[in-house]
Structure 1
Amino acid sequence: MEKNRELARIFDRMADMLEFLGDNPYRINTYRRVAEVLSELGEDVEELVRTGKIHQIHGIGQSSVEKILEYLRTGRVGAYEELRQKVPEDLLELLEVPGVGVKTLRLAYDRLKVRSKEDFIRAVRSGQLAFLPGMGEKKIQNIMRGLELWEKSRERMTLLQAYELGQELLKYFESVRDLYENIELAGSLRRRKETVGDIDLLISAKKDNWAKLHQHFVSYGGVKEVLLHGETKSSVVLQEG
């Protein structure tokens, strides 16, 4: 279901671009939800369009359906192409780097005139990030380490390898099931890309359980190194790479 995957990638990237531009959070979340639904469909999107069932899928509104139809008809999405003219898509690839978020990229874009991932990497290694607000020494060190790992991870895992490791992590969290409402695999693995650079877990914690969940995560037996251990996000390097 290659077209399902590509459409999910397009909607997810449009959400990244809109966030970079400071667009309406509702619109951003709508695109992310569409990407999630498309990545989890058990049926080819072309067949859903042919039968008209695409209009019955919860989470995909009429505006998004029109974009899907446009892609199936022309191989492109006009709204996506327009956003690509406004946002340096090359720069957004760095969202895969642990410790790098849209806010950091936007600050680097506005204040350091960073326009590509090469510009950003140079800014990190030359110490320019220290001039950005809220960018402390520890965060910069995490980004530098994240970049190093990201560059190595370009080798990437196969989808099967990532899936098996993801299932191990889900099983690991079963022992603290009372601490969260829901847990799911996200990112490249959820979108079923052929290769995966890292494994993303999304967890909806029950009240006041964030700290316990983060501690449980970084205590996983397969952890080689903890890159980030924060209030809303933690990143680790596993023994498997």
Structure 2
Amino acid sequence: MAKIDPRTVASLLREYAQRASMRGDNPYRTKAYLRAADSLTALSQPLDRIIATGALTKIPGIGDAIADIVTKLYQTGTHPSLEKLREDVPAGVMELFAIPGLRPDKILKLHQALGVNSLAELEAAAREDRIRPVKGLGAALQTKLLQNLAIVRSGEMQLHLHKAAALLEHAVISVKQEHPEFSRVEIAGDFRRGCELVSDFALVAQGRKSTGIEDTTLRLVVTDRKHFGANLLEATGSADHLEQLKTFAADKGFTLNADGLHRGRKLIASATEEEIYQALDLQFIEPELREGRDEIERAAKQKLPALIRDEDLHGILHSHTTASDGTETLEAMAEATRKRGFEYYGVADHSQSAHYAGGLSLQEIAEQHREADRLNKAYNGKFRILKGIEADILADGSLDYPNQILEQFDFVVASVHSRFKLPKKEQTERIIEAIGNPRTTIIGHMTGRQLLRRPGYDLDVDKVLKACAKHGVAVEINAHPWRLDLDWRWHQKALDQGCIFSINPDAHSIRELDHMHWGVEMARKGGVPAKRVLNAMRLTALLAHLARRRQTS
């Protein structure tokens, strides 16, 4: 049999993992197969070369055992263990793994109890109310399936930003090792534009001459120094931005293509992106803004904002500890934040209604505040722990502590963690009621979305933003890569309304503190400047801001 392409190998490895999971295989082994499949979608070299040189185990997530499976799949298009697993259920059942949050045991139950063999049959069963009566499935699952079917994207493999980052960073290292003659290698595509989900894996490399695109599972564009900027611009996209930019150039008498900006036969600019935009009398358009919205029109008027940067942030205002559902103590999280160069750490553990997350009782609040005071005394003004809480917004819009307790906190993040399916009007009024509470400082993960898992709840975002602006409540850009909420597409509307933002990691571990970067990426993509971000304030300014809010409340 002819050897198959790497994306097909990745697909077969996913099938192997999914079929094994339905048999009750070790979940850690299943996850290892899936991680390896992800890695195969961003190879910097042809797979046959990697196998021939024995370099498979250098790829993230691929050890000796998985390397043997990958080699067999590549060489034969199958594997004896996979063929045996295929005897259990038909191929169409594998489509059900595209549904976010649908566990393997539920997939098997749907197949065995209802004969569901495809996404189409699953949707039919849900709409015909055949899932609800089945023991072990039920009404809640039926409703969730109908909801999540709407977000399934067939045929397109997308990764969250943090996963794409790991693969692309490895790809850059591999390309540099494989091609020491390349003087420069840059990431392009969706990732460079800060898209919340990445499907276009692209690199641009500078060699001695242009050799076009190499045949790997990522786009590797090789060009020379003279044309590097033009190729980087083209490989970054988006398609809409490039189409509009080419039209803008044509209106000025230029021709823009992957080779550069031309006037007639003369090459005007191509070495850098900056030169190309400058030659068109445009303000430089940062990659995150290149989505074909109004960025070219604004750049022509020199009206693009200076976007926020990682180094503009001076503290963290939404994070969890072992007091609720975090993995580290208050002291450990604060110290890790300090070592990352921040001036303050705002703890915001879950509130008492969040029983599932170890929400804080009144006694536990007092204990945490005493610990914060002890640590702040030791820091002696060189660093500050701010006492916060992530208060649940109840169904009627109230927060789940009385006012005399809420007044004890430096800040309050108000968030929805229940009753996601309220009608749009009720959900909107509920959140606006919480925003109107004078103790609310930040509205947390406003829409409740989880990327590739669940859509946000039905909400009039425009009305909520107006309420935030009216009451001076910051809109959270939740930096956790599964959330990235509020969606960047709403940021300009929020800015126009007069809102301020707060970029928060929602960290439950030390490692997750570094999610702050993804929040900055979303803010940049939404066109947010540092002056409109709460935690871009230095500690003294932030304390003054919080004090003013307490006085006016």
TM-score (norm 2): 0.30
Partner of 2:112: 110
User: Are the counterparts in 2 of residues 99 and 143 from structure 1 also a CA contact under 8 Å?
Assistant: no
The code of the aligned residue for 1:226 comes to G
**2: distance between equivalents of 1:66 and 1:105?**
28
Aligned in 2, Cα 1:227/1:99: closer, same or farther, shift over 3 Å? farther
- Which of these residues, 47, 58, 77, is aligned with residue 45 of structure 1? 47
1:90 deviation in Å? 0.7
Q: Give CA deviations for 1:5-35 in whole Å, capped at 9, x if unaligned.
A: 2222211221111111212223312312321
RMSD: 4.3
Q: Is the 8 A contact 2:200 2:218 kept in 1?
A: yes
Question: Which amino acid in the other structure matches residue 218 of structure 1?
Answer: T
> Structure 1 127/189 Cα, relative in aligned 2: closer, same or farther at 3 Å?
farther
Residues 74-101 of structure 1 deviation map (CA, whole Å, 9 limit, x = unaligned): 2333332332222222122122234533
Whole-Å separation in 1 of the counterparts to 2:488 and 2:137: 29
1:60 matched residue in structure 2: 62
| Aligned 8 A contact 2:111 2:117 in 1 | yes
DSSP-derived class of the 1:85 partner: coil
Tell me the equivalent position of 2:194: 167
Query: 1 or 2, which has the higher helix percentage?
Result: 1
For 1:57 and 1:154, locate their aligned partners in 2 and report how far apart those are by CA, in whole Å: 27
1:143 corresponds in structure 2 to 145
Separation of aligned partners in 1, 2:190 and 2:90: 31
Q: Name the % identity.
A: 23
Rounded Cα–Cα distance in structure 1 between residues aligned with 2:88 and 2:118: 13
1:226 corresponds to which of 431, 443, 456 = 456
* Residue type of the alignment partner of 2:86: R
Q: Secondary structure at the match of 1:8?
A: helix
The one-letter amino acid paired with 1:69 is: T
**Secondary structure at the residue paired with 1:140?**
helix
For residue 445 of structure 2, give the secondary structure of its aligned residue in structure 1: helix
5+ residue gaps, structure 2, are 160-188, 202-216, 220-318, 327-348, 351-389, 391-414, 418-443, 450-454, 459-481, 490-553
Aligned residues: 199
On the 8 A contact 1:15/1:29 being kept in 2, the answer is yes
- Distance in 2 between residues matched to 1:157 and 1:31, nearest whole Å: 16
Q: Match for 1:19 among 8, 21, 41?
A: 21
Contact kept in structure 2, 1:15 and 1:32, CA below 8 Å: yes
For residue 130 of structure 1, report the CA deviation from its aligned partner.
0.8
- Give yes or no for contact 1:146–1:227 (8 Å, CA) kept in 2: no
The residue aligned with 2:258 is: none
Supply the distance in 2 between the matched residues of 1:165 and 1:132 (Cα, whole angstroms).
46
Amino acid at match of 1:106: L
SS at match of 2:41: helix
Tell me if 1:5 matches 2:7: yes
Instruction: Give distance in 2, aligned partners of 1:166 and 1:105.
Output: 36
**Cα offsets for 1:115-157 (capped at 9, x unmatched):** 444442332122121123454544422312333454xx55969
The answer to whether 1:216 aligns with 2:218 is no
> 2:147 is aligned with what amino acid?
R
Whether contact under 8 Å (1:145, 1:227) holds in the other structure is: no
SS of 2:49 mapped into structure 1? helix
- Confirm or deny: 8 A CA contact 1:5 1:193 kept in the other structure: no
Given that 1:99 and 1:142 are in contact with CA atoms closer than 8 Å, whether structure 2 keeps it comes out as: no
Larger radius of gyration: 2
Q: Report matched runs for 1:85-124 at 5 Å.
A: 85-98=87-100, 100-124=102-126
- Per the alignment, residue 80 of structure 2 pairs with 78
Aligned to 1:33: 35
Aligned partner of 1:132 in structure 2 is 134
- Displacement of 1:37 in angstroms is 2.8
How many angstroms does 1:73 deviate by? 2.5
Q: Is the 8 A contact 2:6 2:41 kept in 1?
A: yes
SS in 2 for 1:216: coil
